């Protein structure tokens, strides 16, 4: 994190280094308070580092919390520019980590260090996107430790189960194994390193006059944003992207193309047996989590969607059902049903390409599905073959080329 940016907004800054159990050396920045109201830990998303919480100047989350009297800590994950050291200079496979290792090693070291340094057992941990995933990993696998130090997790744009994924990125997930095997042959284990060609390419498209195309592209992938503050966006682009491990992306793709459950990394059958004692990766034991968690998601977010919650909030629990049907050629489709007693009629809403049935509830109360339901109709939302909710087949998997031979 560039100290000039931090000093521009704060008179004092402290820097610490902590070592993880597996030898990574992490840099933490702190905006201290003499008598703090509390301690806030800000965990950054993937392809960024802690500077993301300072880019808006005086209105940045870190500065605002500090001005309100909080002791603010800003860690940097392993692999980012400020946390690229390791206790072994000759270590191989440095980039062999994902959000799992960040959760059980980085967050364990970070939270214990901050707890001991401040003498507090009521840390407020705020995570965004991938850091929300890693927080769930940490809190589920080390629940006693988390309970000892953390008062609450606040997770923004949480990503774990991918059961309502809407981003076009999901179209790439079925080909994850092919991509992973190909890139591994060329020892391509990290993405967006400072000297990488892909970083130069992104920065080219993020400059004027290509900037607007970059904005449209990110909106297309991750959800529409109403307004971009020009100065803030310029700061973001000047400090984006940061290096990340490919393994985190592979893990997300595995969950996306799998059964939708929050599972550990799939090393394939033989290695899974060695690592887990099972041919299938186990689910993360989220039921073990004892620390309160608050989830925050935008309606427009295509990676962290809340469509099921929207349906239940609008019409009540128990008023929707999921059904599956099998086609003559073996595809297993999922249909959502919004139940209406004594309906005026039955309406079936078919979604367009690159979407699934949840597109009809994406606008909450103003959605077409709810409008029709409020008019007294029972509404059915089918999901076409190949979409997230209809990706199963009686004989094939999404890894099979034959599976995708439809139009």
- One digit per residue, the tens of pLDDT, for the chain of length 407 reads 455 555 555 567 899 999 999 999 999 999 999 999 999 999 998 878 888 888 877 888 999 999 999 999 999 999 988 898 999 876 768 899 999 999 999 999 999 999 999 999 999 999 998 999 999 999 999 999 999 999 999 988 887 666 555 555 666 667 667 777 777 776 766 665 555 555 566 556 555 565 666 665 565 555 555 555 555 565 666 666 677 788 988 888 888 777 768 899 999 999 999 999 999 999 999 889 999 988 877 655 655 555 555 555 555 555 788 899 999 999 999 999 999 889 999 999 999 988 888 888 877 677 899 899 989 999 999 999 998 788 889 999 887 889 999 98
What residues have CB less than 8 Å from 73, skipping those under 6 apart?
Answer: 28, 29, 30, 39, 40, 41, 42, 110, 114
Is residue 69 domain-resident? yes
Examine the fold and report which residue of 266, 296, 326 is the final residue of a domain before the chain moves on. 296
Task: For residues 286 and 341, state if they share a domain.
Answer: no
Task: For residues 230 and 315, state if they share a domain.
Answer: no
- Going by the DSSP 8-state scheme, the letter that residue 98 receives in this structure is -
What local confidence, expressed as pLDDT, does residue 1 receive?
Answer: 44
CB 84 within 8 A of CB 118: no
Partnered with residue 73 across adjacent β-strands are: 30, 41
Is residue 185 domain-resident? yes
Task: For residues 194 and 326, state if they share a domain.
Answer: no
Task: For residues 87 and 121, state if they share a domain.
Answer: yes
Residue 258: give the domain boundaries: 3-296
Burial 255-270 (b: 16+ CB within 10 A, else e): bbbbebebbbbbeeee
For the chain, percent helix, then strand, then coil, each to nearest 5?
40, 20, 45
Is residue 146 domain-resident? yes
171 vs 348: CA distance, rounded Å = 25
The CATH number for 181's domain is: 3.40.50.1820
Nearest to 290 by CA among 73, 141, 116, 190: 141
- Residue that the structure tokens 């001991």 belong to: 116
Task: For residues 132 and 102, state if they share a domain.
Answer: yes
Helix (H, G, I), strand (E, B) or coil at 27: strand
CB 304 within 8 A of CB 297: yes
Reported as half-sphere exposure (CB side, CA atoms, 13 A), residue 342 has a value of 0
363 vs 358: CA distance, rounded Å = 10
Task: For residues 80 and 140, state if they share a domain.
Answer: yes
Task: For residues 258 and 317, state if they share a domain.
Answer: no
Please state whether 356 falls in left (phi above 0), alpha (psi between -120 and 50) or beta. Answer: beta
Examine the fold and report which residue of 256, 271, 296 is the final residue of a domain before the chain moves on. 296
State how many domains the chain has.
2
- C-alpha distances (whole Å) from 216 to each of 153, 233, 236, 283 are 32, 13, 15, 36
Nearest to 295 by CA among 128, 50, 145, 103: 128
Examine the fold and report which residue of 248, 272, 296 is the final residue of a domain before the chain moves on. 296
Task: For residues 325 and 388, state if they share a domain.
Answer: yes
DSSP E strands, 133-261: 150-156, 190-191, 244-245
Is residue 301 domain-resident? no
Nearest to 29 by CA among 37, 59, 60, 21: 60
Task: For residues 213 and 280, state if they share a domain.
Answer: yes
What local confidence, expressed as pLDDT, does residue 112 receive?
Answer: 98
Is residue 302 domain-resident? no
Angle 303-54-237 (CA atoms, 0-180°, nearest 5)?
60
288 vs 147: CA distance, rounded Å = 11
What local confidence, expressed as pLDDT, does residue 179 receive?
Answer: 74
Rounded to two decimals, what is the model's pTM? 0.69
Phi, psi for 194 (deg, rounded to 5): -60, -35
236 vs 225: CA distance, rounded Å = 15
Partnered with residue 18 across adjacent β-strands are: 26
Task: For residues 252 and 342, state if they share a domain.
Answer: no
Task: For residues 138 and 287, state if they share a domain.
Answer: yes
401 vs 386: CA distance, rounded Å = 12
Task: For residues 289 and 316, state if they share a domain.
Answer: no
Helices (H) and strands (E) in the chain, counts: 14, 15
């Amino acid at each position: 994190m560039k100290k000039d940016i931090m000093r521009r907004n704060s008179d004092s800054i402290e820097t610490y280094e902590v070592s993880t159990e597996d030898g990574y050396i992490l840099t933490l920045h702190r905006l201290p308070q003499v008598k703090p109201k509390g301690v806030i830990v800000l965990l950054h998303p993937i392809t960024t580092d802690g500077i993301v919480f300072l880019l808006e100047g005086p209105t940045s989350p870190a500065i605002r919390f500090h001005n309100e009297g909080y002791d603010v800590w800003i860690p940097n994950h392993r692999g980012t520019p400020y946390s690229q050291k390791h206790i072994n200079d000759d270590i191989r496979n440095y980039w062999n980590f994902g959000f799992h290792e960040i959760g059980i090693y980085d967050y364990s070291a970070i939270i214990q260090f901050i707890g001991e340094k401040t003498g507090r057992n009521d840390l407020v941990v705020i995570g965004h996107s991938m850091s929300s995933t890693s927080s769930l990993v940490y809190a589920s696998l080390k629940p006693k430790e988390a309970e000892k130090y953390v008062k609450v997790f606040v997770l923004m744009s949480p990503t774990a189960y991918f059961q309502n994924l809407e981003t076009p990125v999901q179209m790439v997930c079925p080909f994850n194994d092919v991509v992973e095997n190909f890139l591994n042959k060329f020892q391509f284990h990290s993405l967006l390193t400072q000297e990488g060609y892909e970083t130069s390419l992104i920065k080219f498209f993020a400059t004027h006059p290509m900037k607007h195309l970059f904005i449209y592209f990110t909106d297309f992938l991750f959800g529409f944003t109403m307004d971009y503050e020009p100065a803030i966006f310029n700061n973001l682009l000047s400090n984006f992207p940061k290096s990340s491990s490919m393994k985190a992306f592979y893990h997300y793709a595995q969950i996306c193309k799998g059964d939708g459950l929050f599972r550990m990394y799939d090393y394939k059958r033989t290695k899974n047996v060695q690592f887990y004692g099972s041919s299938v990766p186990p689910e993360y034991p989220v039921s073990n989590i004892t620390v309160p968690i608050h989830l925050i998601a935008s309606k427009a977010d295509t990676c962290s969607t809340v469509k099921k919650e929207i349906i239940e909030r609008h019409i009540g629990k128990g008023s929707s059902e999921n059904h599956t049907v099998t086609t003559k050629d073996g595809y297993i489709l999922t249909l959502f049903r919004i139940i209406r007693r004594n309906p005026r009629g039955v309406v079936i809403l078919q979604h367009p390409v690159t979407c699934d049935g949840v597109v009809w509830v994406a606008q909450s109360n103003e959605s077409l599905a709810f409008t029709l339901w409020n008019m007294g109709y029972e509404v059915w939302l089918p999901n076409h073959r190949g979409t997230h909710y209809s990706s199963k087949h009686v004989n094939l998997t999404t890894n099979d080329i034959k599976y995708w031979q439809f139009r």
